[in-house]
A and B are shown apart, each in its own frame.
Chain A
Amino acid sequence: MSKTRWRKILADLAKRRARTLLTLFGLSLGLIFVGSVVTALSILRTDLDANFRATHPPNIILSASRIPESLKARLAELPGVRDMEERPEFGALIETGPDRWLPLRITVVSDFQRMRVATLVPNSDALSLPPRGLALERDGRWFLQTPPPGAFAIRLPNGATVDAPFSGYVFDAGQHPSRMERVLYGYITPQTLSRWPYTPARTRMLMITTPEAASSVGADIETLFKDAADKDTGITLESLEIHAVAEHGHKFQFDTLLTLLAGLAVIALVMCAILIINLIDSLMAHEQRTLAVTRALGARSGQIVLDYSLGMAALGLSAALLSLYPSLRLGRTIARFVAMGVNFNLLSPAGPWWLIPGLLCIGTLIPVVVALWTICRAAQQPLWQGLALGRSGRCVAFAEGFPGITALLPLIPRLAVRSIARRPRKVLLSALILSLGLTFFCTALTLRASMLSTVESVRRTLPFDVAVRLQSDEPIADLAAWMDEVPGVRRLEWWSIEQGTLYQGGQRRGNPVSVIGVPDDTASLRPELSLGRWLDPNQPLGIVVNQALMRTVPDLQVGMPYELKVAGHSVATVVVGVVQEFTPAQIYCSKKLLERVGNSRGQANTLVLTLNDSSLAAQDRAAKAIQASAIGPARQFSAILRTRVMEEVILGHLNILSGLLLVIAMISLLVGAMGLATAIGISVVERYREIAVLKAIGGRGSAIAALFATEALCIGLLGWALSTEFASAISRPIVGILGSAVIGYEFTYRSSLPGLWLALAVAMSVALLAALAPIRSAMSLTIRDGLRSE
């Protein structure tokens, strides 16, 4: 291409400097939005998994009463076993504030310096635990005062309280984030444990095997422990969890986050394209006469398409270069925010190698692709038509229908509405940009409302207040006497909970899960069935599974017989229904069935209390009274669950999603607002002459401001109207998909009516804010400059 043609392209862009700069700004803005989401996605895609893999996570976890050295040696020799480490674990309570106790899962680590499986990373340079020290997982710091105290009071499962000096924070990427679970994770040495008046009832072995060998190693482990049990050694295999490849407990959530981000990247791309169409359209509309003149001088259509495409590419590349740094920074910030939310570190904040060239390519190509259609159309239109395009502009037929309709409006609003009607495509595109931001905003609010509604449904399905899980079965008569000491109890039920595994045809179906034995006449459970029916006293062998188990064992079927193995005993059962609930995989059966399998008639290990007052304070009081009265008889708790706290835990899991969506909504709103500001800014630049004439015939600054403010408000209103349609169309599937991905069933859909009005207020405010700078520029325009503009 000749130098002259290049000079013309650049001169065309330079000639209308204000418009070119605004276009460049708008392009950069759209590219920053796409770039930041792509950057965040590319970092998180690798880092979420890399964090977890860096801990050398075990894919087999076995829990047993004890594991003697000889058995350890035989486990280590099993073919396919790469490494293993013993890590006993037990539950306790930690005092995080005056008389404020939170659950604490304590893991015993034999040597902090030589961890090979499920490794921890010290937050400080070196972690050397003193013999009685306690390290805490760093996500727990959200529940602790700053700085943390020198020592924590720990209440052990047997009710004894010990003081544990605080050694520091560690990072355990394999754990579920404390903020979501409302559980703290503590780490001690065997020396510390030996000084405490408590010995865990069971131990855990964490093993890493090759993926192919996982199931055969699992079978071998079962055989080894069966042999040991047969020899009456008192060694029992409590549970055995097998995965071909280790998976983080919140993998579903992470996958959902990544899917959400990927979807957002697509929408950001669409938003960016609309913004660019709007800008390029405007730029090209003013080039049509020049383009026609060029053709009159002998330029061929192909030359024109090439010249203008190169011009657009130059513009796009400039915008891409301008947006590169902010995109990377903002993308890293989003990635950091997500990583902080799920308690991970950013390992590769720079992102993959293709990120920068990829962003530059996207930035350069989008304007070319978007402009190509307009350029081709203009290059092929009849020459006389192009040359006839005067600067007085055309008044489209659509606008001509407006004089009658708008005649009732005062003149300035009438002028504003007709100016909008004169450029319907441009206004629609501007409103579309704003509406996409608003759509995210409305969807985030709907998602939030739906999540809250889902949490309310949890309250409906679990109409009790406190559940106390003991470490061992006790006679119901003793437990009833104990509960007499707890004030405010309205209803009391005895349940049994054990670990069990399903088998079919001798084949294991999934990992061990909680098997909950409920009384036939339970009033503390109103399950929401998604398939089949609830337990029937007339069919005592029926079991009900939840959707989380269905997800992990996809071939599980209602109506099919399965063998349920609990504590080494098997019983033939039939799956009669599936419930949907916000819990890990579990099975419900009649308590009588569990008593028969476990030979524990007249005993229970779980108390389910309904109180006169269901407030959190009342549940706390009951929990404390239960703990206090358990010290004398040295009862050992596995957990004390308060349903109000459980709701908070559920919200903790959901907040990260709705939080991310809200952050994204804010970013897209910001992009929408700035896109709108750019569009109005260009509109001001294009109408310099009109503004100058208005001023020349006596229009004051306030009239000019009112004109553009009215236009902006009309666009805001149109954007809002579009967003209500879009939001109602996309929020239902999004709520459904996110629900299915995170909790295994769809969230209860609730549209947010206050959110709708809030969105309107936001739309109008954003539109007005977006119009501020263009209005200022219009007001400061001198008549002379305005009249001189083309």
Chain B
Amino acid sequence: MQSTIVLNQAGRTYMQGAVQTVALQPLSLTLTAGEFVAVTGASGSGKSTLLNLMSGVDRPTSGTVTVGGVALNGLTENDLARFRGTHVGIVFQFFELIQTLTALENIVLAMDLVAAIPKAVRRERAMGLLDSMGVAGQAKKLPSRLSGGEQQRVAVARALANDPAVLLADEPTGNLDQRNGERVTTLFEQCVADGRTVIIATHEYRDLSRYHRVLRLADGVLMPTRQTVPA
């Protein structure tokens, strides 16, 4: 099976004044294409830090991170930005849609920034993504006019805009009611079915069985976990 994400003794330490805080102890990890992974743990356990390292949002203070065969350590900020745009899709807990752009424009923006998708098909593709998320009818609305669930589905569509191999979501359902949370999780499952690696940080311990693998973090340390065979 093809390795998509490889962390080799990757750790992250922050300095707060003279005090050193270990957010993530050095850990080694390999995730393969098409894996659906949950990262669980209490607040401050290092979930977001782990996702940040995988997405290139943050750099490890020790070890290396390789995603899709690309070693992130050696990339410049601009290269990292381009890498994220093409290889990684990110979904945030608070949706983080650009408030001044419509739902459709939010997705086109992601494609415009990276320019990996031909210009002529970007709009059509964006509409297709919104359609697949069930929010095509809201395409021309500003985010402030959408419900939380709708916003998060637009955010997932945006994350998929450049057809990334990896999808990272930090507490994507944390701000949604149960029904909307379920709809969004189902969308992630569809992504996995399409062959993408999906990693979700969550502190919910319900329905962990739907994930192929569950990584448990406590105080920045990766705990022994169960692994299931991808469906």
Contacts and interface: CB of A to CB of B under 8 A. Distances in A.
The answer to whether A and B belong to the same complex is yes
Interface of A: 391-395, 399-400, 402-403, 410-412, 414-415, 418-419, 421-422, 689-690, 693-703, 782-784, 787
B82 interface: yes
A394 B144 contact: yes
A694 B96 CA distance: 10
- List the 8 closest pairs (A to B, CB-CB), nearest first: A698-B85, A418-B100, A698-B114, A783-B57, A693-B96, A699-B113, A700-B81, A697-B110
A703 B113 CA distance: 7
Interface stretch (B34-42, B101-109, B202-210): B101-109
A415 B108 contact: no
A701 B101 contact: no
B78 A403 contact: no
B142 interface: yes
B80 to A, nearest CB: 9
Contact of B100 (A419, A695, A784): A419
Interface residues of B, number: 36
Contacts of B114: 698
A391 B58 CA distance: 24
18 contacts: A391-B94, A392-B94, A395-B143, A403-B105, A418-B101, A421-B100, A690-B96, A690-B99, A694-B98, A697-B109, A697-B113, A697-B158, A698-B82, A698-B110, A698-B113, A702-B78, A784-B52, A784-B58
Given A411-B112, A698-B110, 19 more contacts: A392-B94, A393-B99, A395-B99, A395-B100, A411-B101, A412-B112, A414-B105, A415-B109, A693-B92, A693-B98, A694-B109, A696-B57, A698-B114, A699-B81, A699-B113, A700-B78, A700-B81, A782-B57, A784-B57
A689 B114 CA distance: 19
B158 to A, nearest CB: 7
A696 B55 contact: yes
B100 A415 contact: yes
Contacts of B86: 698
A402 B105 CA distance: 13
A693 B55 CA distance: 13
Interface SS of chain A: helix
Contacts of B92: 693, 696, 787
A690 B92 CA distance: 12
B95 to A, nearest CB: 8
Contacts of B52: 783-784
B230 to A, nearest CB: 27
Contacts of A701: 77-78, 81
Given A422-B99, A689-B96, A698-B84, A395 B113 contact: no
A700 B90 CA distance: 16
A66 B94 CA distance: 98
B58 A783 contact: yes
Contacts of B112: 410-412
A411 B108 contact: yes
The listed residue with most A CB atoms (<10 A of its CB), out of B101, B109, B110, B159, is B109
Nearest to B107: A697
Nearest to A418: B100
B101 A414 contact: yes
B109 A411 contact: yes
Interface of B: 52, 55, 57-58, 77-78, 81-82, 84-86, 90, 92, 94-96, 98-102, 105, 108-110, 112-114, 140, 142-144, 158-159, 161-162
A403 B158 contact: no
A403 B85 contact: no
B48 to A, nearest CB: 9
A392 B99 contact: yes
A421 B92 CA distance: 26
A393 B100 CA distance: 10
Contacts of A400: 142
Contact of B140 (A403, A410, A703, A784): A403
Contact of B142 (A391, A395, A694, A695): A395
Contacts of B101: 411, 414-415, 418
A438 B124 CA distance: 46
A695 B58 CA distance: 12
B94 to A, nearest CB: 7
Contacts of A782: 57-58
Contacts of A784: 52, 57-58
Contacts of B142: 395, 399-400, 403
B58 A697 contact: no
A275 to B, nearest CB: 25
Contacts of A695: 81, 84
B22 to A, nearest CB: 16
Contacts of B85: 697-699
B66 to A, nearest CB: 19
A86 to B, nearest CB: 81
Contacts of B100: 395, 399, 402, 415, 418-419, 421-422
B144 A403 contact: no
Contacts of B113: 694, 697-700, 703
A418 B106 CA distance: 13
A400 B113 CA distance: 23
A411 B105 CA distance: 8
A52 to B, nearest CB: 61
B82 A700 contact: yes
A287 B214 CA distance: 41
A701 B113 CA distance: 10
A177 B160 CA distance: 76
Contacts of A698: 81-82, 84-86, 110, 113-114, 162
Contacts of A690: 96, 98-99
B110 A415 contact: no
Nearest to B79: A700
A787 B52 CA distance: 11
Contacts of B102: 403
A448 to B, nearest CB: 42
B206 to A, nearest CB: 26
A147 B112 CA distance: 67
Contacts of B90: 696-697
The listed residue with most B CB atoms (<10 A of its CB), out of A399, A415, A689, is A415
Nearest to A780: B77
A782 B81 CA distance: 11
